Amino acid sequence: MRGFGMEIRDFCLILCTVLLPLAGRFLVSFFKLLRVSVDLVSVIFRCGVSAGDAVARAASLRPATLSLRGAMTIHALLPVALALVSPFFLVAPADAQSLVERGRYLVDAVMSCHNCHTPMGPNGPDFSKALSGGLTFDTPAFKVTASNITPDKDTGIGTWSDDDLKDFLVTGMRPNGIPTAPIMPTGFYTRITPRDLDALAAYLRSVKQISNVTPTPDYKTAMKPEIGPYAGGPVSNDDMKDPVTRGMYLVRLAHCLECHTPLGPAGKDYENATGKGGMTFKGPFGESVSANITSHQKAGLGEWSDAEIGRAITQGIGRDGRKLKPPMGYAFYARMTPSDVEAIVKFLRTLPPRE
Ligand code: HEC
Ligand code: HEC
């Protein structure tokens, strides 16, 4: 076990220290990481340890029972220890970071939480007070203000657990048992994947705490979520490989069809008029009426090119070059990846034509 043997052990050490961190970066799931470490352990064992049933034992993940040849030195044990231990160090920060990044993307771009929850200054949202409370909605059924959703313990949601927050986002039910007004679009979040929910919780925990008291909500009737069209439970990652399904998912999260569907006799008329537009919005910008975004040739987006639709969503420019008005959050959607915008356009093309 000297000479050449030692060199191979050194090689194993290098393999472990170089390859494992690399693998750790690129592999997202815990099990994939474990498999890599198992593979490396088996490489190590072929190098300098009595191979025998080591691979099988390594695969059963009981490192304490691995039988090492008596002559093994600490030098050869090191890579084994590294191989077994380093995934646990690597997986935590890498995964946590990508969760926070994903959460930031959902909050800032697709779901545009700031559009309601960040106070409006004279030049748009005041990001120095991001997510500390925003718009007030005064309707016959309720008068509510978008809450402080920073981790401030007294005025924000700092005392909510991750599970409180995740439950709330898909049910509209607060931990204190008081349901939210449906202007908070929780009904549109029912399809959200478990990982995206984790990501939202991780990101919202990481934002700056801001102390800001928002008015207590005033409900005139019982509140219940507005579920909207294309409803259902979490979309699976496999289904998400289809761009149209991913587009549907993103359109749900961005609650596009909530604004782009008119009121019927009993609330939004999703049954007959999904995507037909015709909702009027009033604000400091004056008045705007949501557009028909169905595939209808004349009344909808039927004759628009993909690029024209993408430009309207992300830059707020109409087909004729007109600047589109709020409250649609064009500046937030501008942060979406081109591939997500493309998926949204693909899905809009499937909306049955309405006139
Ligand atoms: C269309 C506007 C709008 C959007 C978009 C929106 N919210 Fe809300 N949200 C509200 C309003 C208004 C309330 C308060 C409702 C009430 O009091 O009944 C609220 C309440 C909440 C609450 C409850 C807080 C509490 O203390 O009770 C949380 C948490 C929350 N929103 C998180 C989010 C997150 C996260 C996003 C983005 C993923 C988001 N909201 C997007 C308008 C919005
Ligand atoms: C908060 C309400 C609201 C949300 C959410 C919203 N929109 Fe809009 N949208 C509007 C309004 C209002 C207009 C019209 C603006 C104008 O005419 O100045 C509009 C305009 C458009 C237009 C331009 C159509 C035309 O004929 O000019 C497109 C395309 C569009 N929206 C697609 C979307 C998509 C896709 C989403 C989701 C990613 C979305 N909207 C989310 C309110 C909304």
Minimum CA distance residue for ligand 1 atom 39: 113
Ligand 2 geometric centre to CA of 35 (Å): 46
- Backbone dihedral angles phi then psi of residue 218, each to the nearest 5 degrees: -120, 110
* Own/partner long-range contacts of 134-143 (Cβ < 8 Å, ≥24 apart): 136/215, 137/181, 137/183, 139/183, 140/220, 141/181, 141/219, 141/220, 141/221, 141/223, 142/181, 142/183, 142/217, 142/218, 142/219, 142/220, 142/221, 142/223, 143/217, 143/218
Is residue 281 within 8 A of residue 290, CB to CB? The reply is yes
Which one, of 92, 133, 106, 329, lies nearest residue 197 by Cα?
A: 106
Q: How far apart are the first and last CA of the chain?
A: 82
Indicate the burial class of 322 (C-beta count within 10 angstroms; 0-12, 13-18, 19 or more).
exposed
pLDDT recorded at residue 122: 85
Nearest CA residue ID for atom 28, ligand 1? 149
**Ligand number, closest to the Cα atom of 333:** 2
**Sign of the CA dihedral with 307 first, then 254, 261, and 242 last:** positive
State which ligand 1 atom lies nearest to the alpha carbon of 165.
Answer: 29
Mutate which of 117, 161, 191 for ligand 1 pocket (most atoms within 8 A of beta carbon): 117
210 CA distance to ligand 2 middle (Å): 31
Which residues are near ligand 1 (CB < 6 Å)?
107, 111-113, 115-117, 137, 144, 146-147, 149, 157, 168, 174, 180-181, 183-185, 200, 204, 217
pTM confidence score: 0.79
Q: Cα(312) to centroid of ligand 2, in Å?
A: 8
Question: Rounded to whole angstroms, what are the CA distances from 234 to 36, 193, 237?
Answer: 30, 5, 9
What pLDDT score does 262 carry? 97
pLDDT for residue 121: 87
Ligand 2 atom with the smallest distance to the CA of 255 is 5
**Which atom of ligand 1 has the smallest separation from the CA of 156?**
26
Q: State the Cα–Cα distance between residues 145 and 219, nearest whole angstrom.
A: 12
* 73 CB-near residues (< 8 Å, 6+ apart): none
Ranges of each domain in the chain: 2-88, 98-225, 228-355
Asked whether 312 lines ligand 2 (CB < 6 A), one says yes
pLDDT computed for residue 331 by the predictor: 97
Q: Which of 192, 185, 206 is nearest to 259 (CA)?
A: 185
> Which atom of ligand 2 is nearest the CA belonging to 325?
18
CA 14/CA 347 separation, integer angstroms: 49
Residue 123 is predicted with a pLDDT of 84
**CATH code, 228-355:** 1.10.760.10
Q: Which amino acid is at 107?
A: V
293 C-alpha to center of ligand 2: Å? 8
**CA 181 to centroid of ligand 1, rounded, Å:** 9
Tens-level pLDDT at each residue, the chain (355 residues): 333 444 444 444 444 444 444 444 444 344 443 343 433 333 333 333 333 333 333 333 333 322 333 333 334 444 444 444 444 444 444 455 599 999 999 999 999 999 999 999 888 899 999 999 999 999 999 999 999 999 999 999 999 999 999 999 999 999 999 999 999 999 999 999 999 999 999 999 999 999 999 999 999 999 999 999 999 999 999 999 999 999 999 999 999 999 999 999 888 999 999 999 999 999 889 999 999 999 999 999 999 999 999 999 999 999 999 999 999 999 999 999 999 999 999 999 999 999 9
For ligand 1, atom 14: residue with the closest CA = 146
pLDDT at 303: 98
